[in-house]
Structure 1
Amino acid sequence: MDSGSLPQDPRPTAPGDLAAAPGAVAAPNDPLAPTARQILDVAEREFSRHGVDKVSLRELGVASGQRNVSAVSYHFGSREGLLAALLSRRIRRLNQLRLERLRLLARLGKADEPHAVIGESFRVLADAVRDEPWGADFVRVLAQVFFHPELDFHALVPEALTEGYRLSMTLIQPALGSLPPQTLEDRMSLAYHHGTYALAMWLHTHGPVTAGHEAAYEAFVDDTVDFIVGGVTAPRSRRPA
């Protein structure tokens, strides 16, 4: 598949999209005003450290330096609205990076190779954990959301922000023609969930990625890629007739 088959730019997301997240009520004309941005930064840190259910909105307001104890509710409406904005802010950036990497694979003639496509798609998140000041906290929060009994990731994050993930499935489908589309979708979902959980477990065990164990982290990421690619591309077991 050549690069012309890939979208040339991430699907645009209007500034008001964060305000449209479930339960979110943003400041007029500025859903990411400085106050809202400060609250999101603090919420990401506190949810990562203590759990998405363990910190009250009032406590987040105090921790983010807000005099108005209702500031979090004013900007985001509810805990779900806050989580929707928190996730969407980071996933928007990860989606852009994922699309850029898929375009590069297309230019290299590798956009139909499952190991390359799945590997680069996952490494976008793994690299954020290593390189971004928010990466470790974000992946811990994301893992909690994935496995939370009362939260639905797909209800919190607009579908447009997962374009790169969905494009990955489209690109590798021809190479996995024996897999029904629903099976591929199910396996990719399992792969993404497992990969996120694996990164969160690394952080739980080792802490943030530092120069002292960066090589070990990279080896862990490589092994995780091999594991999830193997799961996605494995032949189906025979079903009884």
Structure 2
Amino acid sequence: MSLSTGRSALLDSAERLIAARGIYGVSAREVVKDAGHRNSSAISYHFGSWHGLLDAIWARHSPQMNAERAALVAAIDEPDMKQLVHAYVRPLTTEVTRHPSYWARFNEQWLASVPLDVLGGPRFDGDSAEYYPLDDSLNDLSTLLHRITLAVDLPEADARRRVGLVVRFVINAYAAWERDREGHSAPEPEAFESEVEEMACAMLQART
């Protein structure tokens, strides 16, 4: 197994296994075995640590997606909520339809391990074991989500919570789409994208 092939195999196995069982439901040993490595220290060799492996999975997807999000927003002088939501959702459609994908399911599992307020970042209270990716492109995503928050007609804390709920709705919807595609029953991507965006906007605009 070549160096590049061995590294890719670890990334493929980790993303797929975590998508099915969660960030904390998969061991490094299982990933190494599934990837076909004989060396038990393969993750340390290629990525430095388990978190380094997780960061490398993010690096496969997130920078390109968030660059596309930033470009979609930059192309509009004063984007409204619908356009901001489209800028969030569209790159996800592009990513999960490009090839057999576990990316939305990987995100679904990650979101299950962190607080509802996705804009809050990691907690440093001594009791937190949350994993947050080291990915500079997430600054573009945070900026977009913050702009969506400002467009929500609610007090700031309520608006942030609403955005956190919508992010989970979108990711969970696309995770379900990935599963349905494996069973050859997924809806057509563009129609699905439009439906998800309409529902996300309705959630953001709903009054409590």
Asked if TM exceeds 0.5, the reply is: yes
**For 2:52 and 2:164, how far apart are their aligned partners in 1?**
23
Paired position in structure 2 for 1:119: 86
Deviations 1:204-237 (A, max 9, x none): 2x22497x8553x4322212111111111234x3
Shift of the 73–231 alpha-carbon distance from structure 1 to 2, 3 Å rule, reads same
Partner Cα distance (1:192, 1:66) in 2: 36
Counterpart position of 1:202: 177
Which residue of the other structure, out of 3, 9, 26, is the alignment partner of 1:38?
9
Once the 2 structures are TM-superposed, how far is the Cα of residue 200 of structure 1 from its aligned partner?
0.9
TM-score by length of 2: 0.75
Q: Is the CA contact (8 Å cut-off) linking 2:61 and 2:95 kept in structure 1?
A: no
1:90 aligns with 2:65: no
1:230 corresponds to 2:202:
yes
Aligned to 2:70: 99
Cα deviation, residue 117, structure 1 = 0.9
Shift of 1:202: 2.3
Q: Which amino acid is 1:144 matched to?
A: Q
Structure 2 counterparts to residues 1-241 of structure 1, below 5 A: 34=4, 35-49=6-20, 51-104=22-75, 106=76, 109=77, 111-130=78-97, 132-133=98-99, 136-148=101-113, 154=122, 155-158=131-134, 160-172=136-148, 175-176=151-152, 178-204=153-179, 206-208=180-182, 215=188, 217-235=189-207, 237=208
Q: Which runs of 5+ in 2 are unaligned?
A: 123-130
Identify if the C-alpha distance between structure 1 residues 209 and 95 changes in structure 2 by more than 3 Å, giving closer, same or farther.
farther
- Deviation sequence 1:57-88 (CA, Å, 0-9, x none): 22322333333221113334554443233224
Does the aligned pair in 2 maintain the 1:91–1:162 contact within 8 Å?
Answer: yes
- Partner residue in 2 for 1:20: none
Distance 1:52 1:99 in 2: 28
Distance 1:213 1:172, change over 3 A: closer
Matched residue type, 2:190: E
Distance 1:192 1:43 in 2: 23
Q: How far is the alpha carbon of 1:173 from its aligned partner?
A: 5.7
Q: Is the 8 A contact 2:163 2:204 kept in 1?
A: yes
Q: Which amino acid aligns with 1:201?
A: A
Structure 1: runs of 5+ lacking an equivalent: 1-32
Q: Which moved more, 1:120-129 or 1:154-163?
A: 154-163
Change (3 A) 1:112 1:61: same
Corresponding pairs, count: 193
SS at match of 2:170: helix
* Most deviating of 186-195 and 55-64: 55-64
Looking at structure 1, the residues matched to 37 and 66 of structure 2 have their Cα atoms a distance apart, in angstroms, of 31
What SS class does the counterpart of residue 179 from structure 1 fall into?
coil
Identity of aligned pairs, percent?
24
Q: With structure 1 as the length reference, what TM-score do the two structures score?
A: 0.66
